[in-house]
Structure 1
Amino acid sequence: MKIPLPEHKKLVHQMSLDVRWGDMDAMGHVNNAVYFRYMESVRIAWMTAVGADPQPRGEGPVIVNAFCSFLRQIEYPARLLLKLYVSDPARTTFETWTTIEREDQPGVLYAEGGATTIWVDFPKQKAMPLPDWMREAVS
């Protein structure tokens, strides 16, 4: 089932990466769990670019929910294009959405997924309001 991305999403980052031989499973295609690593890679690259690195003694982002729709099998070798979108900033959370394509087949989705991110005060182990600069990045 294809999950529709919200109309009001904002493209914030994209990156390419190569499928590694070890990403495949016994069936000869990329293992389902690896798709979550791909989505994590583009999400972390963007968060680092905007200065949202988690500070263990401070605050930062935590994923509280993640999902993926597997639309087509990906096999080695392949170079992937991952696009990261953001949407729906709330008091303490925002949504991220990722699409995965093969670079040699632009516009053909192989997977799409997302994650709900919550902003956390790590020492207190409590949600806290999104900082203004982060709210601006996801609005």
Structure 2
Amino acid sequence: MSDGNDGVVRLTLQLRLNDFDVLGHLNQAVYHELMEQGRIALLTTLAADSNRYVLAHVELDYRREVPAPTREVIVETSVESFGRSSVRLAQRVLRPDGELAAEGVSVLVGWDREARGSRPLGEEEKRSLAALAERAAATTS
């Protein structure tokens, strides 16, 4: 895993034989698992407990196939924005040759286990998210 100075958390993930479908490309459901690992890696980078968030929304656009027997992909995750209780993440799945395979957005909501509902983000969370978002925005402008 790498958290470059560009604010993007990059994670190289190994693919398994059963990740591919009968058409010979990465199964669509596997992309969601890969993106989940990217979200957890980003939260880990921020020293945040991933169990304090729930997934509220996912958008995913498939751009190029990942054919069998590709052995690994790179998942990039960055903070796009955040609000009172939610975090919007930009996510990309890249083939080993750097081609964009899929891209999308995930929205996480702070989760209160005891109340079984959303919780506002804490000030330290917001500071960490803002720092990562600023670095990502600075490299794209």
Q: TM-score range by the shorter chain?
A: 0.7 to 0.9
- 2:42 is aligned, of 43, 46, 50, to 46
The structure with the greater share of residues assigned to helix is 2
Corresponding residue for residue 101 of structure 1: 94
CA deviation vs aligned residue, 1:86-126 (integer Å, no higher than 9, x gap) = 122111111011111112x22x2110012111112111012
Residues 87 and 109 of structure 2 are in contact (CA less than 8 Å); yes or no, is this contact kept in structure 1?
Answer: yes
CA distance in 2, matches of 1:26, 1:93: 37
Corresponding residue for residue 4 of structure 1: none
Letter in 1 for 2:13: L
CA distance in 1, matches of 2:61, 2:127: 28
Letter in 2 for 1:101: L
What TM-score results when the alignment is normalised by the length of structure 1?
0.81
CA distance in 1, matches of 2:84, 2:66: 37
Relative to structure 1, the CA distance from residue 74 to residue 102 in structure 2 (aligned partners, 3 Å threshold; closer, same or farther) is same
Unaligned runs of 5+ in 2: 1-5, 131-141
Letter in 2 for 1:88: S
Instruction: Point out the more displaced range, 73-82 or 85-94.
Output: 73-82
Residues 43 and 50 of structure 2 are in contact (CA less than 8 Å); yes or no, is this contact kept in structure 1?
Answer: no
Residues 1:36 and 2:27 aligned together: no
Corresponding residue for residue 72 of structure 1: 64
CA distance in 1, matches of 2:24, 2:68: 8
Relative to structure 1, the CA distance from residue 89 to residue 62 in structure 2 (aligned partners, 3 Å threshold; closer, same or farther) is same
CA distance in 1, matches of 2:49, 2:18: 28
Residues 1:11 and 2:4 aligned together: no
Corresponding residue for residue 138 of structure 1: 129
Aligned residue pairs, count? 124
What TM-score results when the alignment is normalised by the length of structure 2?
0.80
- 2:55 is aligned, of 35, 42, 63, to 63
Q: Percent identity among equivalent residues?
A: 26
CA distance in 2, matches of 1:39, 1:25: 18
CA distance in 2, matches of 1:42, 1:90: 20
Letter in 2 for 1:34: V
Residues 29 and 75 of structure 1 are in contact (CA less than 8 Å); yes or no, is this contact kept in structure 2?
Answer: yes
Residues 19 and 76 of structure 1 are in contact (CA less than 8 Å); yes or no, is this contact kept in structure 2?
Answer: no
RMSD: 1.6
After TM superposition, give the deviation of residue 129 of structure 1 in Å. Answer: 1.2
Residues 65 and 116 of structure 1 are in contact (CA less than 8 Å); yes or no, is this contact kept in structure 2?
Answer: yes
